[in-house]
Structure 1
Amino acid sequence: MDPGYPLILASSLVIGVIAGIVMHRADFCVTASFRDMFLFRDFFLMRQMVLVVVVSMALFEFGRLSGLIAAQPFPLLGTPSLANAIGGFIFGIGMVLAGGCVTGTLYKLGSGSAASGLAFVGMLAGSAAYAEIHPQWSAFARATALARDVVTVPQWLGLSPSALLLPIALAGAAWLAREFRAGRMQRPGFAVGHLAPWRAAVVLALLGFASYVLIGMPMGITTAYTKLGANIEALFAPGHVSHLAYFALQPLDYTPPFADHAVQGGPGPRFDAIGAIQYPLILGIAGGAMASAMQLGEWRLHWRLPPRQFVSALAGGLLIGLAARMVPSCNLWHLWGGLPILALQSLLFLAGLLPGTWAGSRLLARFVIR
């Protein structure tokens, strides 16, 4: 094991456990925030998403200006492309059908949801299946690149990050303060152990900042889903896996904070820097939610659902796994990591995610919940 991994492993695990507890106590679901807008015209949870982004934006810029954050933009963000928006659209459909995004599925799985377990299996399968189309899709992404050698909007405009991020964060804070005064950020919660969503939003933003400072990038987990899927596939077709070009890639090559040399990682079935960063986060979120549910006496296996909901969860998981590689990455990475620094890839992902969740909501209402 690389000597720089212990701090990364420990940091990711602690961040994951706290995130799992917080998301379970608040039932903090990214999917619901988008889905509820389209199904019920309810914007309560979306206001909490805005709170996460605004607080993260302020924290990330504070970290950059103070020197706590050395690399901005962070590793693995790349050239914006039409592929980001198309992948976001498919991701939006998938997360609504699955009943949760990559993190929502984990905390619901930890609290005993059988449907979320099936969605998780679908994500692993979809992530691994992407390797079959990677040469064609990567060629499409290069052909539809929208800007060369720029990653964020400030870079594109030739401005200091502060010139855009601080005014947006201040405007967002003023709007949120008005929403608080109007009582639109809080709702009564009577369940034992309930955590107000706005408090959860602040804690999750702080966890993303801690990840950026200690690990060198915000939270993200879907490349590890691909690694897990590749490991399972290698049990049955090792020769095929070894010949797929996607699994040989090493896109992560950076020097973590508090380390003196670079580490590498990729989607292939081996333990590397990505495994050290993301595996503990996955275990932590699921384990934290399970511990929270057990401490409250709420843990039990939820499996009595109509068959169509299990089919929807599996299909949604497959779409999420595939789309997370097409984008690349997921809502956690882009909405809570890239969007606060105005990453172009993340803005395009959001542009696709919105109509995708609308389409997914229509499908859910028509064929699943009826």
Structure 2
Amino acid sequence: MVGMIMTGIICGGLLGFVMQRGRFCLTGGFRDMYLTKDNRMFYALLIAIAIQAVGVYIMIALGVFEYSAGSFPIIAVIIGAFIFGIGIILSGGCATGTWYRAGEGLIGSWIALVMYMLMAAMMRTGPLAMVTEKFYGVQFEDNSMASSFNVSPWVLIIPFVIIVLILVYNQLRKPQVKIPSLKPKKTGLMHILFEKRWNPFVTAILIGMIATLAWPLSSATGRIFGLGITSPSANILQFLVTGDMNFINWGVFLVLGVFLGALFGAKMSGEFRFRMPNVKTALNSATGGLLMGFGASLAGGCSIGNGLVMTAMMTWSGWTALVFMILGTWTATYFVFVRPQKKARAAHATAQLTQ
């Protein structure tokens, strides 16, 4: 039990710290792909996926643990991931982003987090569990892409790594916009860790390494999986309500570690402060949290569980979920950002003509 607590909190703490300091936000990354055609954060995600895929499959080949991809509930994944994508735009952060931004003192993220945990718990053991079961009635038995094609996973991983390297190389060749920074107040390692702006690709490399490390640490406790946010978040609420110790596992300490790591990073960098949202933002956060919990539970994972981990395992569910998460964020981005701006411009133009 002590080992599970320590390794879970340490791994989660590293993840929370790196994501907070590196501003690793998939919600903003997916949104920027649509709004500003900026793909850097998406490429950063691909880097983390590639590193994890190589690392985890090497460990599987060495017999560190065994892994089965399970089945592929296609309808549940498509609908759930799309709804999750909408939810993260409304809440202002994905599941992991909500945890680490809560560690920065954002009350809106706390609201989203509570709603997210509540809905996830309801979808698992609460009154909405029947909804999950209904959607899971339609599924393919084989979720492994390599197994479906009857090839080694490396046949998929190696070309994927090459594609990622090409994308990153082409991105780095582009002229980089220099962002002016304030005069450093810290020096040496303290400046790098708590003051300097982190490169998203460097952040992604660190996240890929942490995601790889999570597998043997989690497997040592009997939980054969890597990083995961939705189930552990629901488990916390389920434990608090029932007192059932069966809900306590390595993942629970992982998400608690994410919060603590982000809190440490925010405190040390001077970025922690309590920020109260206005009424509209609070309502959006609550609605987004509910949609995140519903969508992630239905899809079997969030932007980390599906978008980072299951993609690295080369599963149909992971890559399908990633595509529909992005489509969900683009849809919400249009209605939340683009459409109101178009209406405002049209109203302004009309007002100008009538003057």
How much does 1:129 deviate? Answer: 2.9
- In the other structure, the counterpart of 1:241 is none
| Residue 55 of structure 1, aligned match among 51, 67, 71 | 51
Are the equivalent residues in 2 in contact too, given 1:61–1:165 (CA < 8 A)? no
Are the equivalent residues in 1 in contact too, given 2:236–2:248 (CA < 8 A)? no
Bigger Cα displacement from structure 2, 96-105 vs 48-57: 48-57
Are the equivalent residues in 1 in contact too, given 2:233–2:255 (CA < 8 A)? no
- In the other structure, the counterpart of 1:170 is 162
Deviations 1:335-364 (A, max 9, x none): 211101211111221232122111221232
State the alpha-carbon separation in 2 of the partners of residues 21 and 196 from structure 1.
15
State the alpha-carbon separation in 1 of the partners of residues 309 and 283 from structure 2.
31
Number of equivalent positions: 323
Amino acid at match of 1:345: S
State whether structure 2 residue 85 is matched by structure 1 residue 92: yes
| Residue 218 of structure 1, aligned match among 200, 207, 226 | 226
| Residue 133 of structure 1, aligned match among 128, 131, 134 | 128
- In the other structure, the counterpart of 1:201 is 204
Which residues of structure 1 form unaligned runs of 5+?
Answer: 235-268
State whether structure 2 residue 332 is matched by structure 1 residue 357: no
State the alpha-carbon separation in 1 of the partners of residues 27 and 337 from structure 2.
15
Deviations 1:147-184 (A, max 9, x none): 22x12100111111112212222232233223223356
State the alpha-carbon separation in 1 of the partners of residues 180 and 297 from structure 2.
37
State whether structure 2 residue 294 is matched by structure 1 residue 322: yes
State the alpha-carbon separation in 2 of the partners of residues 344 and 189 from structure 1.
43
Bigger Cα displacement from structure 2, 305-314 vs 359-368: 359-368
State whether structure 2 residue 287 is matched by structure 1 residue 287: no
Higher radius of gyration, 1 or 2: 2
State the alpha-carbon separation in 2 of the partners of residues 62 and 180 from structure 1.
28
Are the equivalent residues in 2 in contact too, given 1:211–1:218 (CA < 8 A)? yes
> 1:317–1:187: structure 2 CA closer, same or farther, 3 Å change rule?
farther
| Residue 270 of structure 1, aligned match among 235, 244, 257 | 244
State the alpha-carbon separation in 1 of the partners of residues 340 and 121 from structure 2.
26
State whether structure 2 residue 117 is matched by structure 1 residue 109: no
- In the other structure, the counterpart of 2:13 is 17
What TM-score results when the alignment is normalised by the length of structure 1? 0.80
- In the other structure, the counterpart of 1:190 is 181
- In the other structure, the counterpart of 2:30 is 34
Which residues of structure 2 form unaligned runs of 5+?
Answer: 183-194, 220-224, 345-355
Are the equivalent residues in 2 in contact too, given 1:80–1:348 (CA < 8 A)? no
- In the other structure, the counterpart of 1:230 is 238
- In the other structure, the counterpart of 1:246 is none
Secondary structure at 1:72 match in 2: coil
Are the equivalent residues in 1 in contact too, given 2:300–2:306 (CA < 8 A)? no
- In the other structure, the counterpart of 1:331 is 303
How much does 1:135 deviate? Answer: 2.1
> 1:158–1:189: structure 2 CA closer, same or farther, 3 Å change rule?
farther
Are the equivalent residues in 2 in contact too, given 1:21–1:292 (CA < 8 A)? yes
Are the equivalent residues in 1 in contact too, given 2:81–2:328 (CA < 8 A)? yes
How much does 1:367 deviate? Answer: 8.7
Are the equivalent residues in 2 in contact too, given 1:33–1:43 (CA < 8 A)? yes
State the alpha-carbon separation in 2 of the partners of residues 362 and 306 from structure 1.
22
Deviations 1:228-251 (A, max 9, x none): 3334555xxxxxxxxxxxxxxxxx
Amino acid at match of 1:288: G
How much does 1:106 deviate? Answer: 0.8
- In the other structure, the counterpart of 1:78 is 71
> 1:189–1:107: structure 2 CA closer, same or farther, 3 Å change rule?
farther
State the alpha-carbon separation in 1 of the partners of residues 172 and 248 from structure 2.
40
State whether structure 2 residue 4 is matched by structure 1 residue 8: yes
RMSD after superposition? 2.3
State the alpha-carbon separation in 1 of the partners of residues 117 and 178 from structure 2.
36
Secondary structure at 1:190 match in 2: coil
1:219-258 equivalent positions in 2, closer than 5 A: 219-231=227-239
State whether structure 2 residue 320 is matched by structure 1 residue 348: yes
State the alpha-carbon separation in 2 of the partners of residues 189 and 128 from structure 1.
45
State the alpha-carbon separation in 2 of the partners of residues 229 and 98 from structure 1.
19
How much does 1:132 deviate? Answer: 1.6
